[in-house]
Amino acid sequence: EPEVTQTPSHQVTQMGQEVILRCVPISNHLYFYWYRQILGQKVEFLVSFYNNEISEKSEIFDDQFSVERPDGSNFTLKIRSTKLEDSAMYFCASNKDGFDFYEQYFGPGTRLTVT
């Protein structure tokens, strides 16, 4: 069964450093998302992406964040200058088309630790 994959599984970085989190969505999916989950808290929407453009973003997704689909398979989240409060699990998700927007397939997540 196709699945969303994410790399790395765990990333440790120093405050102020840039990080890139990588995701490979399911191959025939067209809509891509990033979420974050601080330990023990709810899943928070960051951004949605379709047709090589950001569709929606939350207030969390400020100028320090950017997303890119550099090729036909990868979808990346970049944090330019990490802060301690960026420490969280970051999930990538995708779905096939706009009609099943509610059924999102999540990857296993990348745990980001900022020290």
Partner 1 sequence: GQSLEQPSEVTAVEGAIVQINCTYQTSGFYGLSWYQQHDGGAPTFLSYNALDGLEETGRFSSFLSRSDSYGYLLLQELQMKDSASYFCAVSGSYQKVTFGIGTKLQVIP
Contacts with partner 1 by CB under 8 A lie at: 31, 33, 35, 41-45, 48, 50, 55-56, 58, 91, 98, 101-109
CB-nearer residue toward partner 1: 64 or 105: 105
Shortest CB 47 distance to partner 1, Å: 9
The rounded distance, in Å, linking the Cα atoms of 32 and 39 is 23
Place of tokens 């330019």: 80
CB-nearer residue toward partner 1: 15 or 54: 54
In residues, how long is the chain?
115
Shortest CB 108 distance to partner 1, Å: 5
CB-nearer residue toward partner 1: 55 or 74: 55
Phi and psi torsions of 93, nearest 5°: -145, 160
CB-nearer residue toward partner 1: 1 or 14: 1
The rounded distance, in Å, linking the Cα atoms of 21 and 28 is 21
Shortest CB 1 distance to partner 1, Å: 12
The rounded distance, in Å, linking the Cα atoms of 14 and 66 is 19
Q: What do you get for the CA distance between the two ends of the chain, in Å?
A: 37
Shortest CB 98 distance to partner 1, Å: 5
